[in-house]
């Protein structure tokens, strides 16, 4: 089993992602770290504890990460999307609380990287502050990361926090630029362009709810989350779960290598990810960007349901 660390800001779609990872036979979940984002750090930390407890993963160390961006303070959370409690207003349905935090996120991640017999996949499904700090303070550990899988950005689909910016990148653009542009760790970026295509409908959620207590709790978040993530149709995106599926089963999402840049200005474009899609040979660092025109979105949606309900013949 491939070793896996998840850095997360739970968050409704983060809950789906953690449930997916906890049930995946392909990976060994070595640690979860909580970062600020959808809600404040104390709440994301408590939610991570709730999810690990509900999923029966008290064996997984939990680290406490950054409570703010690297440089500029964030101007908003996502309570309008995820509810004040971060879990769709139904946090009490998730539990019991899992383990107390085992320390700082950077220390927890470093211990896993230092002691693993093989390189570790790091899935970053919140603001990239913790990842940027890790790579800045412990560059010796970069080679211990097999791959970064990042949920973030929007290449051409429009943003969800501004006309062009996606929430995770917008929450700390300086950290995102460090990770996506300046570093050299192999990276797969899963943007809104794809996750807004892999939406789920009421029938999908009903099937999930019928699968057992975990599925029932996840599906119970639908009302607040569907309203907050309104896409003009009766469908709900579960962004982070799409990225986690790729972390668990590499190659599930078809990707194209692109050079990217992150807007760190203080103007209206702050947090926008620009990708060079001119078709020329890249001249610098590239990241593998997952796009809907290259991915079977129906197959991804079906795979997510099979795995989350425990009805996967490959398990």
Mean of the per-residue pLDDT values of the chain: 93
Mean pLDDT on 178-182: 97
Any catalytic annotation for residue 239?
yes
What DSSP designation does 314 have? T
Residue 228 clears pLDDT 60, i.e. is over it: no
Q: Give the residue from 106, 122, 232, 129 showing the smallest Cα distance to 177.
A: 129
Q: Beta partners for 256?
A: 289
Distance CA 83, CA 94 (A): 14
- 1-32 pLDDT per residue, tens: 999 999 999 999 999 999 999 999 999 999 99
82, 227, 239, 274: the active-site residue: 239
Q: Which of 136-140, 144-148, 244-248, 308-312 has the lowest average pLDDT?
A: 308-312
DSSP-based helix, strand, coil % in the chain, nearest 5: 40, 15, 45
- When mean pLDDT is compared across 40-54, 66-80, 171-185, 227-241, the lowest value belongs to 227-241
Reduced to 3 states (helix: H, G, I; strand: E, B; else coil), residue 11 is coil
Least confident of 45-59, 75-89, 237-251: 75-89
Q: What's residue 314's pLDDT?
A: 47
Angle at 80 between CA 169 and CA 8, to 5 degrees: 40
Beta strands 120-124 and 145-151, pairing class? parallel
Average pLDDT over residues 228-238: 72
Q: Looking at residue 315, what is its pLDDT?
A: 44
Mean pLDDT along residues 282-288: 89
**What is the pLDDT, as a whole number, of residue 48?**
98
Non-local (6+) Cβ contacts of 32 within 8 A are 5, 6, 7, 8, 18, 48, 52, 60, 61, 62, 63
**Average of pLDDT values for 196-221?**
95
| Average pLDDT for 50-57 | 96
- Burial code (b: 16+ CB inside 10 Å, e: under 16) for 53-81 equals bbbebeebbbbbbbebbbeeeeeebbbeb
Angstrom distance (rounded) from CA 245 to CA 3: 14
Sorting pLDDT into bands at 50, 70 and 90, what band is 233? low
């Amino acid at each position: 089993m491939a070793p896996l660390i998840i850095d997360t800001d739970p968050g409704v779609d983060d809950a789906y992602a953690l449930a997916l990872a906890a049930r995946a036979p392909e990976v060994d979940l070595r640690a979860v770290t909580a970062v600020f984002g959808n809600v404040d750090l104390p709440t994301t930390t408590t939610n991570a504890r709730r999810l690990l407890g509900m999923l029966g993963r008290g064996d997984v160390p939990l680290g406490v990460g950054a409570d703010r961006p690297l440089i500029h303070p964030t101007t908003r959370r996502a309570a309008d999307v995820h509810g004040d409690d971060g879990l769709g207003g139904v946090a009490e349905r998730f539990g019991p609380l899992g383990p107390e935090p085992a320390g700082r996120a950077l220390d927890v991640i470093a211990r896993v990287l230092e002691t693993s017999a093989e390189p570790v996949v790091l899935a970053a499904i919140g603001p990239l502050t913790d990842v940027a700090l890790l790579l800045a303070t412990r560059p010796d550990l970069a080679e211990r990361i097999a791959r970064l899988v990042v949920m973030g950005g929007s290449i051409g689909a429009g943003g969800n926090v501004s006309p062009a910016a996606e929430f995770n990148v917008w929450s700390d653009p300086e950290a995102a630029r460090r990770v996506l542009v300046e570093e050299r760790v192999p990276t797969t970026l899963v943007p809104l362009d794809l996750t807004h295509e892999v939406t789920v409908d009421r029938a999908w959620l009903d099937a999930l709810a019928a699968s057992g207590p975990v599925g029932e709790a996840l599906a119970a978040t639908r009302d607040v989350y569907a309203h907050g993530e309104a896409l003009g149709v009766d469908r709900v995106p579960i962004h982070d779960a799409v990225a986690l599926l790729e972390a668990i089963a590499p190659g599930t999402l078809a990707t194209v290598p692109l050079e990217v840049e992150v807007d760190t200005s203080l103007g209206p474009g702050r947090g926008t990810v620009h990708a060079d899609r001119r078709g020329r040979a890249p001249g610098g660092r590239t990241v593998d960007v997952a796009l809907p025109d290259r991915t079977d979105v129906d197959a991804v949606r079906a795979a997510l349901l099979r795995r989350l309900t425990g009805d996967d013949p490959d398990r």
